[in-house]
Structure 1
């Protein structure tokens, strides 16, 4: 009888040991992870984005935005001149980031624009980019749209119709040749324009020209009005040495205002 009791005790111990090791039929069938296998509440999520270090910025430096609201097409005035706008008249909570020239080609700019995943408009000067048009292709692939900023970046105001038309049409033609889309928007260098500029731009197929409400330089946002980006505002920056600081500062200003970057071209009919 004592032998039988011993065998029974051994069998029970083996059964308990097997259960504690997780070898029950339910565990083998994948009924659910044991508490030890569950992810730690304090540990990183399996889907967390990597925070990579780049030259002068990290992925986590880029503000995160939700999708932009559906665009509202603006109404352009009829006539033989292109309108010249300081901002987009919209109630949508959006702002528009534009980048000019292209003289200095910062090596981080294509990567930063792609990583940010926000729409930008590039007003490019053809003489500034003719040494390396391919530099801008990754930005276009990431969603940037190229528009016209003249051939030589000269002051158009006061120049003849023929001179201004050559600057505007020539730049648009060359940009269309390089990138497969002829620009339909323009920005006059320094924001300087006159009635002749707007007539020549219209005759070159430009739908509208654009000024700006904020500028960004050396990481500082400068406001023409108030201290906050407003819905419909156009922000100007350039391809300069401080591109990384300028781009991130512009995005932070948009984020702080509770706005989302939107594409300028989506609002022009």
Structure 2
């Protein structure tokens, strides 16, 4: 009887093991990236750049979801950039197209509210430069995610703190939104933004003056937008040389990114880096508060 009780107890303990053990379940296609990782030591970087999670090896990486390598157009190399000339004044220019005769177009991605797990893989596979205009409040719950995109050619620029309508607001309000976002992004990603996009594309003279005083070199509108995989044109039916294309971090990121690439490819153009065409203002000296001196 005592032996039987011991056997029954052992069987019961074995049966409980799966219920109490740790499970390393795999994240599905919709799983979001992990939370903030530890920052590197000061010796590793000139700024407190957030450390991105280590990339999985080819054998460990999950397959693409919603796209394949064959969906990505093949582009010729971008030509050596020829930076434009910016006017020297107390405000920044507001551009929707780079005035260039080179066969290039520019992909820009706004906000950061929704973070597709496919975006890092897509950027790595496409190997094209993109500019991210990030809203700092939008990215606060997963800031290291955008450090991963930096590893694949993305350059981070400013898009305010809270994404407000700027036009008609005071200089103090607009300066706080622009300088504050640039300061925060510079702290997070090791490079202070020098380009700016006002939310909704709306601005006034105060916006452009505040941006200038915050150390920004140029502000941007767009010529094409991409939403739910459809490209919408302001002029004609094709991307033109120097056009700036706008998309967002939205649920249809994969469709939107591929649609932007295909539109550029159909036009016989190559994606280029917007920052390469905007010269730095040599006299710009930005204080810790963001104001130039």
> Which runs of at least 4 in structure 1 moved beyond 3 Å after TM superposition?
none
Question: Which residue in 2 is equivalent to 1:71?
Answer: 81
TM-score, with length taken from structure 1: 0.80
- Confirm or deny: 8 A CA contact 2:64 2:121 kept in the other structure: no
The count of aligned residue pairs is 218
How far apart, CA to CA, are the structure 2 residues paired with 1:200 and 1:101?
A: 20
Question: Which residue in 2 is equivalent to 1:93?
Answer: 103
Correspondent of 1:192 among 178, 182, 202 = 202
The superposition leaves residues 131-162 of structure 1 with CA deviations (integer Å, 9 ceiling, x where unpaired) of 11100112101111000000000000000000
Q: Structure 2 matches for 1:30-49, cutoff 5 A?
A: none
Correspondent of 2:152 among 139, 142, 151 = 142
TM-score, with length taken from structure 2: 0.74
How far apart, CA to CA, are the structure 2 residues paired with 1:141 and 1:178?
A: 14
Point out the structure with max Rg over C-alpha.
Answer: 1
Question: Which residue in 2 is equivalent to 1:60?
Answer: 70
- Confirm or deny: 8 A CA contact 1:114 1:142 kept in the other structure: yes
Question: Which residue in 1 is equivalent to 2:113?
Answer: 103
Question: Which residue in 1 is equivalent to 2:193?
Answer: 183
* Secondary structure of the structure 2 residue equivalent to 1:130: helix
- Confirm or deny: 8 A CA contact 2:229 2:256 kept in the other structure: yes
Correspondent of 1:121 among 123, 126, 131 = 131
- Confirm or deny: 8 A CA contact 1:100 1:236 kept in the other structure: yes
Query: Offset at 1:103?
Result: 0.3
The superposition leaves residues 31-81 of structure 1 with CA deviations (integer Å, 9 ceiling, x where unpaired) of xxxxxxxxxxxxxxxxxxxxx951101111111111100101101011100
Q: Structure 2 matches for 1:171-250, cutoff 5 A?
A: 171-250=181-260
Residue segments in structure 1 that go unaligned for 5+ positions in a row: 1-51
What RMSD in Å do the two structures reach over aligned CA positions?
0.9
- Confirm or deny: 8 A CA contact 1:53 1:59 kept in the other structure: no
Question: Which residue in 2 is equivalent to 1:168?
Answer: 178
Residue segments in structure 2 that go unaligned for 5+ positions in a row: 1-61, 280-293
The superposition leaves residues 104-151 of structure 1 with CA deviations (integer Å, 9 ceiling, x where unpaired) of 011111111111100000000000001111001121011110000000
